[in-house]
Structure 1
Amino acid sequence: MNHNKPYKKLIFDADNTLFDFNRAEATALVNTLNHFELPCPEGMVSHYRQMNVALWAQLDNKEIDIKTLKHKRTAAIFDHIGAAVDEAAFAHQYLDQLSSCDFLLPGVSETLDQLSEHCDMMIITNGLSQVQQPRLKASSIKDHFKHWVISEEFGHAKPQKEIFHHSCELMGWTPNKDILMVGDNYRCDVQGAKASGLSACWFNLFKLNLGQKKTDFTDHDHEIRQFSELLDLTVFS
C-alpha cells in the first residue's frame, strides 16, 4: 500500500528497532552471572534468548503476568547452569544491567537527527519500566521524542488498541493512517498499529525468510531492512 505524502508523525518501538536489544541482553546476562560469580556455559546466551522470547510471547497472549515471567526466566537460568543465588537479587541485578545498555542499532542516531527536523516522534515499548526509563533518559537520542509510553506503567501493552490510542492522545493526534508505527514485532507493532487505525512499517531487522508463511505477513504498509530507509518514507518521500 502506498502513502501519497511523507509521514510526519512517527511512533517507534524501542527494542530491536531503536536499541540493539540482542547485544544488550547478552551483555546484561553475562555481567549478572559474573557479578554473582556464577558459571556462564557455552550457549548460555542463545538458550536464554530462546526461553525469554517464548515467555514474552506468553505474556503478550496474557497466559502469564510479568511477575511470573520474571520468576520463570530466572529459575530457568539457575536450572540451566546448575547453580543458584537469591532469585530476587539476581533478577534485580539483571534488570539494572539491562537498563544501562543503551546500544543503538546502526543508522539510528544519524537517521533520527534528520527525521527530527521534519517529524514529530514518540516511543511505545512493551518493556519493563525498571529497564526502559533509565535507558531512555540516559540515551543520546532521548531529545528526539516528545513522549514515551511504557506498557507496564500504562497498564495496556501492544498490540492492544488502548496503548496506541493513548499515545496518539498524548501527542495531540487523531488516530489515522497519516501516523506511521515503526517496529520489528509483527504482531505487536504492525498488526497492533493497523488494528488501531494507523499505518505500519515493519522493520524486518533479522531479514526473515517468510517462505511458506508469506500469507501471514501481509498487513504492513511498508517494509524496511535498514533503519535509514525510513528517510524514503518521510524526508525524501
Structure 2
Amino acid sequence: MSTLYVVATPIGNLEDLSQRALRILAEVSAVAAEDTRLTGRLLSRHGLRKPLVSYRAPVERRGLPRVLAALAAGDVALVSDAGTPAVSDPGQQLVAASWRDGHTVVPLPGPSAVTTALSAAGFPGTGFSFVGYLPRKPGELRRFFASLAETRQPTVAFESPHRVLKSLTVLAETLPERPLLLARELTKLHEELRRGTAARVLEELGGRARGEFTVVISGSES
C-alpha cells in the first residue's frame, strides 16, 4: 500500500511552504493537483519536477481513477491551488477512497485562510464554525445571517469579489451591530484586513471589491 500526503500549500506568500512539505513533494512519485499549471509553477520555483495528475472541482469523481492508479504505483501528494486540500477545495472523495483501499493518509499542516483570518479577528468564543462559501440566493443568505443571531462562537466563510458587497449589505440589514473581520487577499501583496460592523466595512470599501475574501463574523455576546 502507498501513502497519500495531504499537503497544504501557500494561500499567497510562497515563503509559507514548509520545509516538510518541500521534502514530501520531492519524495513522492506523483502530485495530484487542482490546477496542474499553477502547481507546476510552484514546483518549478523550488527546482522540482514531478508527474502531475489533474484532480479538480467540480469533477472530482472523473479524476479519481487516475489518482488512485498513481497511488497504486507509489506515494502521491494531494495539493489544491492554495491552502489545505479538502477544505472548500477538492480532496474529500480522494481521501475517503484512499482509506477505503487501505492506503495510508498523512496530513501535512500548513496555510489555511480560515485559521489565518480567525487568528487576526480577536473575537471571543469557544471554537468556531466554518461554512464554506456564503449562500448565493438573497433569501437563503438573509436566513443564514438571521440564524447567527444567538450563535456565541465566530463564524468563518469565504466570499467572492462579485458577491461580497451584496453579502455585506444583507448582513448590515440583518445583524447591524455584529462586528466582523473582512480579510482580502490574505498573505498576498495587497492584503487588507478591515474590522467593524458590516455598514462600516462597506463604507470603507467604497463600492470596490477585488480579490478573494474571508469573512469572520463575531458571535453574539448577549
Normalised TM-score (structure 2): 0.34
Which structure has greater helix proportion?
1
Higher relative contact order (CA 8 A, sep 6+): 1
Which structure has greater strand proportion?
2
- Asked which structure has the greater CA Rg, the reply is 2
